[in-house]
Amino acid sequence: MDGSSEFVSKPERLQKILSSYSIASRREAERMILDGRVQVNGITARTGQSAKPGHDQITIDGVPLDTKEDHVYIMLNKPCGYITTRSDEYGRKTVMDLLTGVSKRVYPIGRLDKDSEGLLLFTNDGEFANAVLHPSRNKLKTYEAAVRGDIQKAAEMLRQPVKIDRYTVHASKVGLLKTTADGGALLISVIEGRNRQVRKMCAVCGVKVISLKRISVGCLELGGLETGKWRFLTDNEVKALG
Tens digit of pLDDT for each residue in 15-36?
Answer: 888 877 656 677 778 888 998 9
Residue span(s) of the chain under CATH 3.10.290.10 come to 11-64
Choose among 42, 52, 41, 43: nearest CA to 14. 52
Rounded distance between C-alpha atoms, residue 230 and residue 99, angstroms:
7
pLDDT confidence of residue 8: 43
Backbone angles phi, psi at 160, to 5 degrees: -110, 160
**Domain 73-135+220-241 falls under CATH 3.30.565.10:** no
Residue span(s) of the chain under CATH 3.30.70.1560 come to 140-217
Whether 2 shows a pLDDT value over 60: the answer reads: no
Question: For this structure, is 113 an active site residue?
Answer: yes
pLDDT confidence of residue 66: 59
CATH-assigned architecture of domain 11-64: Roll (3.10)
pLDDT confidence of residue 7: 37
End-to-end CA distance of the chain: 40
pTM beyond 0.85: no
pLDDT (mean) for 114-136: 90
**Domain 140-217 falls under CATH 3.30.450.30:** no
pLDDT confidence of residue 70: 78
- Kindly name the residue from 113, 125, 182, 235 that is annotated as catalytic: 113
Choose among 230, 149, 232: nearest CA to 186. 149
Decide: residue 198, CB within 10 A, 0-12 exposed, 13-18 middle, 19+ buried.
buried
Q: What radius of gyration do the chain's Cα atoms show?
A: 21
pLDDT (mean) for 79-93: 92
Residue span(s) of the chain under CATH 3.30.70.580 come to 73-135+220-241
